[in-house]
Structure 1
Amino acid sequence: MKIYDYLIIGAGSAGCSSAYFLHKEGKSVALVDREGIAGGASGAAGAFLSPLPGQKNIYNSLVNNALDFSLDFYQELLPEAVDKKGVLRVANDNFDEDKLSQNSIKYDYFDSKKLHDISKNFREIEGYFYENAAVIEPIQICNKLTKGCDFYKMDVKELVYKDGFYIVDNIKAKNIILAQGVSSSLVEIPYMKISPIFGLRVDVKSTTKVPFNIHKAISISTNKQDGTLSIGATHERHDSAKMECLTTCDKCSFYVKGDDEQVKSLLKQADELIKLENLEVVKIYKGARATIKSYFPVIGKIVDYESSLKKHPSIQNGTKIPQEDLEYYPNLHLINALGSRGFVFGPYLANILTKNILHNEPIPQEISTGKLFYKMARKSKF
């Protein structure tokens, strides 16, 4: 039975990034996943790295700080898997002209004439160009992140904790990090309600040269180094109370049909932005991204909800109990709810989590497990 310092359950962007930073600190690390490295939503992701416009607030500051960190990180880690050419954002219902123009991020305004000067294939559109944006190759990145770590393909159904170790099949680990995305958690975390959001990505070939990423309701990548373009969108939120993710979306009965209509809609929306000549669909990817209601990601030690309320029932009345005095599952951490920004958040959050675990550096309250615990505990009648 092999013993590791850390066993990470889930090998998407969150899990692979966590493996990288822990291994870099000299820890022995293994990952397990039922599908493989980047075998789920992360491998299906369009992997667009873009800033979040709008007047400065806690959430877009988090996104944009993560973007700066992760773009630099990927360019140093594997430059050949990164195409950094910026993004043109076209106004839509969620991001209107005011929100795109009145924000704290530097941009250039491109009217239709300027876009036609860049490429005659642009439709009659205008938009806001942000230089600090890229598209990456997710599977290449995840494989690079996990170099030096062991990987086991298995579907973990339960965790057994005995004599200071977690036991999973023939693996023993001193610590566990849950990076499970939309899959059912292996421990009770009632204060974190994951909602899967379905995403679709189509890789295509075209003789059109797309000078930079384009985003409206859907995203179109620049021509990548393998000659393809990625076209992607997030389509719908599931009701997680009614659906449990037991496999990847490409095998799920909910999505096994309807490819033609989904792809047709995606390509139609892309054509409204730029004419893609001699278009050929190469591959279709599907994936469910994990989010919570607030859209913030979540990292940190996993609070034992029931034990904490039994020990400190006054929390329900608003008493401020220090986070370090709560009850936690032993040596158990999580990194989850990265949503459609998995590769923006992945390295940034994994670095924070690693520093917290190994060096006791604090986790920002807005992304901590503690914040969600307190929010639910103060509303509950335990």
Structure 2
Amino acid sequence: MKIYDFLIIGAGSGGCNCAHYLQQRGLSVAIADKEGVASGGSGAAGAFLSPLAGVQNSYNRFINSALEYSLEFYEKMTPNSIVKKGVLRVENNNFNSAKLQTNSIKNHYISAKELQEISQNFTQIDGYFYENAAILNPHEVCQELIKECDFYNYNVKELKYEDGLYIFDDFKAKNIILAQGVIKSIVETPYIKIAPIFGVKIDVKTTTKVPFNIHKSISVSTNKKDSTISIGATKERHDTSEMECLTSCDKCAFYVNNEQGQVEELLKDARELIKLEDVKVTKVYRGARATIKSYFPVIGKVIDYEQSLKKYPSIKNGTKIPPELLTYFENLYIINALGSRGFVVAPMLAKLLCEEILDSKKVPQELSNEKLFYKMARTKVST
């Protein structure tokens, strides 16, 4: 029976980047996903690498720092899967012109007249152009990331831990990383409240040349290396108190009858930005992306919530118990809540998580699940 140093459960952007990083450090890595590589929210993602505009705060500083890291990472690792031509951000309800101008990443205004000179297919829009932006092929990237790892099309339903090893049907693993996205966690992590956000993307053949990515309430990509473009948008936020993601969106009854309307709406919104000619939709992707209320991703060692509170019940009253004294599940880690910017943040998150595991470097507080644990423990009424 084969023994791996790590098994990663979930083959989306987070899981695949962790697998790559660990394998580069000389460790044996397996990755398992019941639906396949990049089959959920990561496969449905537009995989747009774009800056986050607005007044500087801890969140957009993190996003824009992760963007710089990921652009360099993907250009080196998988140059054939990235097209870097920048993005035009068009004003919408969430981002007015003042907010689009305010960013540590350089940008410049392009008027409607100037856009018409670039391409007569542009409608009467204007916007702010950011050079540091790109689009990826998510499936190619994820496959490249795990090419040196063993992949199992396998549904891990429970974790059995004996004598320092996690045991499965025909292999064992010393460590586990949970990268499950919106799927219910195999272990109880009540302090990580995942909110699935539904996204839809279409790949489109068109004779229109789109000079760069365009983003308003939807995203339209530049022509990729196969000459197609992608059009994507976030469409729905689930209420997790009412429904739980148990399968992929392509099989979910909540969406299965809505495809035609979703495609038509994407095309309509895209044509309000740029005229698309000779359009043929080649593929539709749907998937739910995992977020939490703070929007920050979550990485780190997995805390045993019940045992930690049993050991230190005074935490509920605000007693400051150091994180190292909490009870953690053995050799169990998590990377989750990457949201709609999964491919932007995943390379940096994988590096930070793996450095915590291998080099004992502490995860930044805003990304740590310990922060979520303390918040829930101190606000939850004891039952």
Q: Which letter does structure 1 place at the counterpart of 2:78?
A: L
1:155 shift after superposition: 1.1
SS at match of 1:21: helix
Shift of 1:170: 1.7
2:301 match: secondary structure: strand
Q: Distance in 1 between matches of 2:19 and 2:173?
A: 14
Match of 1:349 in 2: 349
CA distance, structure 1, for counterparts of residue 102 and residue 346 of structure 2: 28
Please say if 1:257 is aligned against 2:257.
Answer: yes
1:318 partner letter: G
Q: CA deviation at 1:332?
A: 0.3
AA partner of residue 285 (structure 1): Y
Task: Please provide the CA RMSD for this pair.
Answer: 0.9
Map 1:210-359 to 2 at 5 A: 210-359=210-359
Unaligned runs of 5+ in 2: none
SS at match of 2:200: strand
- Alpha-carbon distance in structure 2 between the residues aligned to 1:275 and 1:115: 13
Scaled by the length of structure 2, the TM-score of the pair is: 0.98
Contact kept? 1:165, 1:174, Cα under 8 Å? yes
State the shift of 1:250 in Å.
1.1
- What is the CA deviation profile of residues 56-99 of structure 1, one whole-angstrom value per residue up to 9, with x for unaligned ones? 10000110111110110000001010000000000101111121
Any idea what SS the aligned residue of 1:299 has? strand
What is the 5 A alignment of 1:158-177? 158-177=158-177
Report the Cα distance in structure 1 between the residues aligned to 2:216 and 2:207, rounded to whole angstroms.
22
Q: Per-residue CA shift, 1:278-319, capped at 9, x if unaligned?
A: 111111110110111111100000011111111112211222
Q: C-alpha separation between the residues in 1 aligned to 2:163 and 2:337?
A: 31
The number of aligned residues is: 382
Q: Provide the rounded CA distance (Å) in 1 between the counterparts of 2:255 and 2:94.
A: 26
How far is 1:242 from its partner? 2.0
The 2-side partners of 1:289 and 1:237 are apart by 9
What is the match of residue 85 of structure 2? 85
Question: 1: CA distance between counterparts of 2:314 and 2:13?
Answer: 38
**In structure 2, distance between residues paired with 1:80 and 1:47:** 14
8 Å CA contact 1:55, 1:104 repeated in 2: no
CA deviations on 1:169-210 (whole Å, 9 max, x unpaired) are 222111000000000100000000111111000100111110
Partner of 1:33: 33
Measure the CA separation in 2 of the matches of 1:145 and 1:260. Answer: 33
Which residue identity does 2:123 align to in structure 1? R
Give % identity: 63
Following the alignment from structure 2 to structure 1, what is the Cα–Cα distance between the partners of residues 357 and 273? 45
Residue 378 of structure 1 aligns to a residue whose secondary structure is helix
Q: Which amino acid aligns with 1:311?
A: K
Contact 1:110/1:126, CA 8 A, preserved across alignment: yes
Structure 1, unaligned stretches of length 5 or more? none
Question: TM-score, normalised to structure 1's length?
Answer: 0.99
**Structure 1 residue 361 displacement after superposition:** 0.7
In structure 2, the partner of 1:132 is 132
1:38 shift after superposition:
1.1
Q: For each residue in 1:218-260, what CA deviation from the matched residue of structure 2 results, as whole angstroms up to 9, or x when unmatched? A: 0000000011000000001011222222221111111111211
Q: Following TM superposition, by how much is the alpha carbon of 1:103 offset from its aligned partner in structure 2, in angstroms?
A: 3.0
| Superposed displacement of residue 144, structure 1 | 0.7
Structure 1 Cα separation of the partners of residues 106 and 56 of structure 2 = 12
* Residues 30 and 149, structure 1, Cα contact 8 Å, conserved in 2: yes
Structure 2 counterparts to residues 74-223 of structure 1, below 5 A: 74-223=74-223
Tell me the residue number matched to 2:11: 11
> After TM superposition, where is structure 1 displaced by more than 6 Å over at least 4 residues in a row?
none
The answer to whether structure 1 residue 58 and structure 2 residue 26 are counterparts is no
The one-letter amino acid paired with 1:304 is: D
Query: How far, CA to CA, are the matches of 1:280 and 1:245 in structure 2?
Result: 31
State the 1:268 CA deviation. Answer: 0.5
In 2, the alpha carbon distance for the partners of 1:39 and 1:71 equals 23
